[in-house]
Amino acid sequence: MSLSTERYEKLLQKYLDGQCNRAEMEELYAWLQSSGSNRSLLAAMQREFEKTMGEHYEIPSELSDRIETRLLQDISQEKVIRFPQRMRLRWIAAAAVVLLAGSGVYYYMNTVSSRKALTANTGVLAADTGDIAPGTNKAILTLANGDVVTLDSAGNQIINQGETVVRQQNGQLHYAGQGSSDVVTYNTLTVPRGGQFNIVLSDGSHVWLNAASSMRYPTSFNGDRREVEIQGQGYFEVAPNASKPFFVKANNTEVQVLGTQFDIMAYADEKSINTTLIEGLVNVKYGNTEQRLKPGQQAVVDPATGVMVVMKADVDQVIAWKTGFFEFDNATMADILRQLARWYDIEVSYNQTGNERLFGGRISRSLPLSDILHMLEANGPTFSLSGRKLTVTSGK
């Protein structure tokens, strides 16, 4: 790579990060206009540049996400349809423009400006678009006495439960301190479809819950063990305490933790219960079978047979949801639709057929549903959205 090319790639990255000043913008424009290969990039981005140059130097993050989505329009005819993975979102957006110049990305750029604003509080786009926005930070907290508290990303409040103080702030629930009482009380945090939320337990352990998930936990950990129960999917960063091990129970699976980071996926509509170790040490027990995991390994339990298999994990794929992405590896349309149903809170009508294409790659979870459907339609299926019901017809 020449020094000049490297310079302009850094400028483009800087632009997409919203850090270019006026002089750097002019330098970048001059380079884009210097050759035919660069002009294709300029043509695709010109209008959005002009709209943001006056008052804003950065390209909108929503636009970056949509350009990234458009990558899948440049597909191969192989059975597994893949798109770039593990690249920075904004840089991948720029790469998408380069790859797709002249093949329809200009249409996507123009449609961005015509899309209507989100309707407040509903999570649904304006009625004439028929679109659905992505999930948000929201949950329901059920207290030990049965009281219910609604939580969202904007709420800030303090909830007193005897000796326990619970603080909600900016999409997070935080339990402060350990109580001295011998009486153990339990709360339940329920994240609906179309939501996500995170919580800091009284021992300092941090848990992120994915859409359509819930966790039952004590307001303080007494005794010689810490124990929570989860349904759905959660990512755990457990505070070390060798004298008081941490246990997570999910659908007859028990994970014993000494101090670690791991993900557990135990949705009722998935075929397996997956425990993936990121860091530290865990023992996974199902029935009479118990396995110890090393970092980078995954225990896969088939509830139908009771068989547990330990394999190497694709950690980036497993925790993509926590970092704001969908990531697929040889995924069927049904696999994808289950995730979309949970995150966009939709009902899906789909009849599986044989010899389906498989998908692989990563896409932002911040996109409206229509952008992902456009991406998938390029590969065969067709979609019809009525309210929150999505009907899917398999392609050829």
> pLDDT tens digits, the chain, 396 residues: what are they?
456 667 776 777 676 666 777 778 777 766 765 655 455 444 444 444 444 444 444 444 554 444 444 433 333 233 344 433 333 333 333 333 332 222 222 223 233 323 332 223 333 333 334 689 999 999 999 999 999 999 987 778 888 877 788 999 877 999 986 656 677 899 999 999 999 999 999 999 999 999 999 999 999 998 889 999 999 999 999 999 988 999 999 999 999 997 799 999 999 999 999 999 999 999 999 999 999 999 999 999 999 999 999 999 999 899 999 999 898 888 888 999 999 999 999 999 988 766 677 877 778 898 899 888 887 887 778 899 999 999 998 765
SS3 144: coil
Does any domain span residue 20?
Answer: yes
Does any domain span residue 130?
Answer: no
Residue at which a domain ends, from 299, 323, 347: 323
Range(s) of the domain holding residue 296: 230-323
Residues 254 and 303 in one domain: yes
Does any domain span residue 378?
Answer: yes
Going by C-alpha positions, the residue among 210, 214, 236, 253 that lies closest to residue 339 is 210
Which residue in this structure is represented by tokens 């009380």?
A: 185
Does any domain span residue 129?
Answer: no
Does any domain span residue 125?
Answer: no
| pTM of this structure | 0.72
Residue at which a domain ends, from 271, 295, 323: 323
Strand partners, 273: 301
CATH number, domain with residue 310: 2.60.120.1440
Does any domain span residue 334?
Answer: yes
Supply 336's token pair: 């994808």
Order the strands of the 389-393 sheet from edge to edge: 347-350, 389-393, 382-386
Work out the burial of residue 32: count CB atoms within 10 Å of its CB; fewer than 13 is exposed, 13-18 middle, 19 or more buried. Answer: buried
Residues 105 and 31 in one domain: yes
Residues 350 and 309 in one domain: no
Residues 151 and 110 in one domain: no
Strand partners, 85: none
Phi/psi region, residue 355 (left: phi>0; alpha: psi -120 to 50; beta: rest), is: left
d(CA 149, CA 189): 10
Domain count, the chain: 4
Residues 290 and 193 in one domain: no
Work out the burial of residue 167: count CB atoms within 10 Å of its CB; fewer than 13 is exposed, 13-18 middle, 19 or more buried. Answer: middle
Residues 107 and 36 in one domain: yes
Residues 168 and 205 in one domain: yes
Phi/psi region, residue 267 (left: phi>0; alpha: psi -120 to 50; beta: rest), is: beta
SS3 112: helix
CATH number, domain with residue 374: 3.55.50.30
